[in-house]
């Protein structure tokens, strides 16, 4: 019962990065508990996935060959069944959209405490999980006063596991009850890009909540025109319907890697940063000196965009 069980995440035939990161987080935790690292892979090309996941530090891989794509009822059944048979101390699941579609149900079913969105973990006498609150403004340490727990792990916080492993790969003895599957995935759709492809732009002027009103977007388009740049946006602008979804940068939008990314009135929530941290040069204008965008920016101005942007337009005209 000192073992760790991690469950991989995949979509459309490819393992997602968080799957390899879970191996690193899981190995670290298993070293601390003195147990083995088990990995489960459910649905899709499980044998191919198992070979890919057989990296250094993995002790055993369990495959559940049922269906092609993620279905939360299947993952729920497979994970609870594996937890019953393997008796792990800790379950590590991805803090992805799909991970959060079954991890809480597994926790409820197994009556285990759940800590989501972990950015750090340590184990002494007890498990301690580090996670953020208030939109990344603070971090908290949470002690888990229980022998067992489920933790969902945020992507890109642990490095991916490398190296060839010598895990034992086996088909798990798990029967999926088809009658208990109450949801059916009928397809996938990619959000239309609209007229503009922000992933192809060399220079992006990206606008966030700080713009306050839809009318004020004109200022951003003026700046983009003066700079010969393309306008992109953070989530709230698109949620408000002020710009089309194809212009959204972030975890649920597009991943962009322009030469220059000028973030105007964007605080830099982790979901946004996931979509633009690969930009060559990041420049931010924001009133809040503590905004997380300044943690990844190369250059910045702490100030009112309504004062700075008009001046900047003038500089380029």
Contacts to another protein from residues 157-216, by CB under 8 A = 182-191, 202-203
Burial class (CB in 10 A: 0-12, 13-18, 19+), 293: buried
Asked if 132 touches another protein (CB under 8 A), the answer is yes
**Identified binder of another protein from the candidate list 48, 67, 113, 160, rule CB under 8 A:** 113
Helix (H) or strand (E) holding 132: strand 127-133
In sequence order, the 6+-apart residues with CB closer than 8 A to the CB of 200 are none
* Cβ(118)–Cβ(153) below 8 Å: yes
Contact with another protein (CB under 8 A) among 31, 51, 84, 143: 143
> Closer to another protein at the Cβ: 47 or 222?
222
The whole-angstrom separation of Cα 142 and Cα 253 is: 31
Residues within window 10-69 making contact with another protein, judged by CB under 8 A: 11, 16
Binding segment (CB under 8 A) for another protein, from list 44-52, 58-66, 83-91, 232-240: 232-240
How far apart are alpha carbons 116 and 104 in whole angstroms?
9
Residue 94 and residue 16 in contact, taking contact as beta carbons nearer than 8 Å: yes
Determine, following the binding rule CB under 8 A, whether residue 316 of this chain makes contact with another protein: yes
With CB under 8 A as the contact rule, the residue among 260, 263, 273, 276 that binds another protein is 260
Q: Please pick, from the candidates 68, 84, 87, 108, the single residue that binds another protein as defined by CB under 8 A.
A: 108
Q: At what angle do helices 17-33 and 46-53 cross, to 10 degrees?
A: 60
Establish if 96 lies at the interface with another protein (CB under 8 A): yes
Q: Which stretch binds another protein (CB under 8 A): 31-39, 49-57, 169-177, 226-234?
A: 226-234
């Amino acid at each position: 019962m000192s073992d760790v069980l991690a469950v991989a995440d995949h979509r459309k035939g490819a393992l997602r990065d968080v799957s390899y990161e879970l191996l690193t987080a899981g190995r670290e935790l298993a070293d601390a508990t003195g147990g083995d690292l088990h990995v489960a892979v459910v649905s899709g090309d499980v044998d191919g996935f198992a070979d890919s996941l057989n990296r250094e530090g993995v002790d055993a891989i369990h495959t559940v060959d049922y269906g092609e794509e993620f279905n939360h009822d299947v993952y729920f059944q497979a994970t609870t069944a594996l937890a019953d048979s393997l008796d792990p101390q800790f379950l590590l699941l991805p803090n992805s959209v799909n991970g959060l579609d079954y991890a809480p149900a597994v926790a409820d079913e197994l009556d285990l405490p759940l800590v989501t969105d972990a950015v750090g973990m340590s184990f002494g006498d007890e498990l301690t999980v580090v996670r953020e609150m208030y939109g990344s403004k603070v971090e908290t340490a949470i002690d888990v006063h229980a022998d067992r727990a489920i933790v969902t792990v945020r992507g890109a916080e642990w490095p991916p596991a490398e190296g060839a492993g010598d895990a034992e790969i086996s088909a798990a003895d798990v029967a999926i009850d088809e009658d208990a599957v109450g949801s059916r995935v009928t397809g996938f759709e990619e959000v239309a890009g609209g007229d503009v492809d922000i992933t192809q732009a060399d220079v992006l002027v990206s606008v966030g909540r700080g713009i306050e009103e839809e009318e004020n977007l004109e200022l951003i388009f003026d700046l983009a025109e003066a700079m010969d740049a393309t306008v992109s946006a953070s989530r709230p602008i698109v949620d408000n319907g002020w710009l089309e979804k194809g212009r959204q940068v972030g975890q649920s939008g597009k991943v962009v890697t322009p030469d220059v990314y000028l973030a105007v009135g964007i605080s830099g929530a982790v979901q946004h940063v996931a979509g633009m941290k690969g930009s060559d040069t990041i420049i931010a204008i924001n009133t809040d000196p503590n905004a997380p965008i300044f943690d990844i920016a190369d250059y910045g101005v702490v100030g009112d965009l309504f004062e700075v942007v008009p001046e900047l337009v003038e500089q380029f005209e």
